[in-house]
Amino acid sequence: MKVLITFRFFDEWVNRIRENGIEIIQWKEEKAPPKKWIMDNVTDVDGILCTLNTRIDKDIISIAKKLKVISTYSVGFDHIDVKEAKSKGIKIGYTPEVLTETTADLIFGLILAVARRIVEGDKLIREGKWMIPWQPDFLLGYDVYGKTLGIIGMGRIGKAVYRRAKGFNMHVIYYSRSKKYDIEAEYVSLDELLQRSDFVVVTVDLNESTYHMINEKALKMMKRNAFLINASRGRTVDEKALVKALEEKWIAGAALDVFEEEPINKDHPLLKFNNVVVTPHIGSATFETRHKMAEIAVENLKRGLRGEKLVYEL
Ligand code: DGY
């Protein structure tokens, strides 16, 4: 059996795959591999282990004649042509659940950071700009406790954010395209959520219906003192519209872990705003969680190679 690993993966886990007598072709550079490298190496592999940085599209799937399984080291799978793979009987594994709480922690961190101006405060001290010990009107932000939190998409991560919000005595409203859930949070339409929330948190998957769902129209509906938080996929938000919203002060700020293009360019207009907090797609980035994700991704791969049902299969 032969497996293509499209990213720099922990040696420990690569060795565990190898222990099973599996031949490995691995991309080891920091940057994602070019499509040509994948096309050149995929023709006779039985499995692919990838991350969200590698598009596994129709062209790749169609020349990978022996492919049995695509295992992605992520919960998101918008980088894989799922329909095409399934039509060829190729199994697709992913890593949900283990990163839910970790990602919700980060989302809460982003809410607190942007509302209470934590990053601005840190920067100001380091730049030697903290001049007076305490001032009544210095670096004022907004309360989080007791506010209205709007969650778009009430999947696993949405529910984990909801559980945290209860501890902050927040009123939680949510919109979910698929269904209402049996939870205490109030189900509302998307428009109502945008109009009422102090914090709008996007937790949806990226697909045709969620692409740019936060656009100019949506941002205009938000309150002037509301914040947008996104740790799902960058392309759910129209960044041009967001820049306009921030320039014209339609909203109070934004906290973003994901971007339309990653890594975001350091000259991107979003980065000129003090009321925007940014992190480099680290929702699941803890030692514990990345280890658990590795365990599942490798198990999915091995089971797929053996033709068995995966631990988490799409
Ligand atoms: C995922 O898994 O899809 C996240 O975006 C990164 O962990």
- pLDDT for the residue numbered 1: 95
Q: For residues 139 and 273, give the distance between their C-alpha atoms in angstroms, rounded to a whole number.
A: 15
Amino acid at site 216: E
Length of the chain: 314
Amino acid at site 227: F
Give Dmax (Cα) for the chain.
68
Query: What is the Å distance from ligand 1's center to 93 Cα?
Result: 13
Q: For residues 220 and 242, give the distance between their C-alpha atoms in angstroms, rounded to a whole number.
A: 10
Tokens of residue 57, six digits = 């599209």
- pLDDT for the residue numbered 20: 81
- pLDDT for the residue numbered 227: 99
Q: Are 66 and 89 in contact (CB under 8 A)?
A: no
- pLDDT for the residue numbered 177: 84
Catalytic residue among 79, 117, 196, 281: 281
Residues 253-297: tens digit of each pLDDT = 999 999 999 999 999 999 999 999 999 999 999 999 999 999 999
Query: What is the Å distance from ligand 1's center to 117 Cα?
Result: 26
CA-nearest residue, atom 4 of ligand 1: 74
CA-nearest residue, atom 3 of ligand 1: 76
Known catalytic membership, residue 303: no
Question: Using a 6 Å cutoff on CB, does residue 75 contact ligand 1?
Answer: yes
Token look-up 């305490």 returns 134
Question: Using a 6 Å cutoff on CB, does residue 158 contact ligand 1?
Answer: no
Extract the residue ranges of the chain whose pLDDT is less than 70: none
Ligand 1 closest atom vs CA 52: 3
Q: For residues 13 and 21, give the distance between their C-alpha atoms in angstroms, rounded to a whole number.
A: 14
ipTM of the complex: 0.95
Question: Using a 6 Å cutoff on CB, does residue 155 contact ligand 1?
Answer: no
Known catalytic membership, residue 262: yes
Known catalytic membership, residue 291: no
- pLDDT for the residue numbered 235: 98
Average pLDDT for the chain: 97
Residues 119-141: tens digit of each pLDDT = 999 999 999 999 999 999 999 99
CA-nearest residue, atom 2 of ligand 1: 74
Query: What is the Å distance from ligand 1's center to 165 Cα?
Result: 22
**Helices marked H in 22-130 — which ranges?**
35-42, 58-63, 82-87, 100-115, 118-126
For the chain, which domains are there? 2-96+287-305 (3.40.50.720), 100-278 (3.40.50.720)
- pLDDT for the residue numbered 54: 95
Q: Are 13 and 300 in contact (CB under 8 A)?
A: no
pTM of the predicted model as reported, rounded to 2 decimal places: 0.96
